Structure 1
Amino acid sequence: MKTENVAQLIERIASQLNATTYIEPIYKKFGIIFFSNGRRLFFKDRQININTASSVSVTTNKFETSNFLSHFGYNVPTGRTFSNHPYDIKHNRSVEDGIVFAKELGFPVILKPNNKSQGVLVCKVGNEEEFRDIAAKILRNRNDALLVEKFYGGYSDYRIVVLGERVISAYQRIPLTVTGNGRQNILELLKDKQAYYKIIGRESKEIDIDDFRIKMHLQGNNM
Structure 2
Amino acid sequence: MSITSIIQKVALQIGAVVLLEPEYKLVGHITFKNGKRSVFSYAKLNINGLASAELVKDKAYSNFFLKQLGYRVTEGKTFFTDQLCAKIAHPRNIHDGFNYAQSIGFPVIVKPLNLSQGILVTKVYNQAEYYDV
Q: Same fold (TM over 0.5)?
A: yes
Shift in Å at residue 118 of structure 1? 1.0
In the TM superposition, 1:66-85 aligns within 5 A as 66-85=63-82
Shift in Å at residue 114 of structure 1? 1.2
Can you give the 5+ residue segments of structure 2 that lack an aligned partner in the other structure? Answer: 1-47
- In structure 1, what residue type is equivalent to 2:95? E
Give structure 1 regions of 4+ aligned residues with deviation exceeding 3 angstroms: none
The count of corresponding residues between Structure 1 and Structure 2 is: 84
In the TM superposition, 1:11-50 aligns within 5 A as none
Asked if the contact 1:109/1:124 (under 8 Å) is kept, the reply is yes
Judging by fraction of residues, say which structure has more strand.
1
What CA deviation, in whole Å up to 9, does each residue of 1:26-47 have, x standing for no partner? xxxxxxxxxxxxxxxxxxxxxx
Judging by fraction of residues, say which structure has more helix.
2
Q: Which has the higher contact order (CA 8 A, sep 6+)?
A: 1
Aligned residue among 38, 62, 67 for 1:65: 62
Shift in Å at residue 86 of structure 1? 2.8
What CA deviation, in whole Å up to 9, does each residue of 1:94-153 have, x standing for no partner? 11110110011110000011131111110000001100010xxxxxxxxxxxxxxxxxxx
Matches of 1:111 and 1:121, distance apart in 2:
8
For the pair shown, the structure with the greater C-alpha radius of gyration is: 1
Aligned counterpart, 1:86 = 83
What CA deviation, in whole Å up to 9, does each residue of 1:22-69 have, x standing for no partner? xxxxxxxxxxxxxxxxxxxxxxxxxxxxx7111000001111100110
Asked if the contact 1:62/1:115 (under 8 Å) is kept, the reply is no
Name the SS for the 1:87 alignment partner: helix
Can you give the 5+ residue segments of structure 1 that lack an aligned partner in the other structure? Answer: 1-50, 135-223
TM-score by length of 2: 0.59
Shift in Å at residue 73 of structure 1? 1.2
Name the SS for the 1:75 alignment partner: coil
In the TM superposition, 1:118-197 aligns within 5 A as 118-134=117-133
User: 1:100 and 2:99 equivalent?
Assistant: yes
Identical-pair percentage = 40
Aligned counterpart, 1:52 = 49
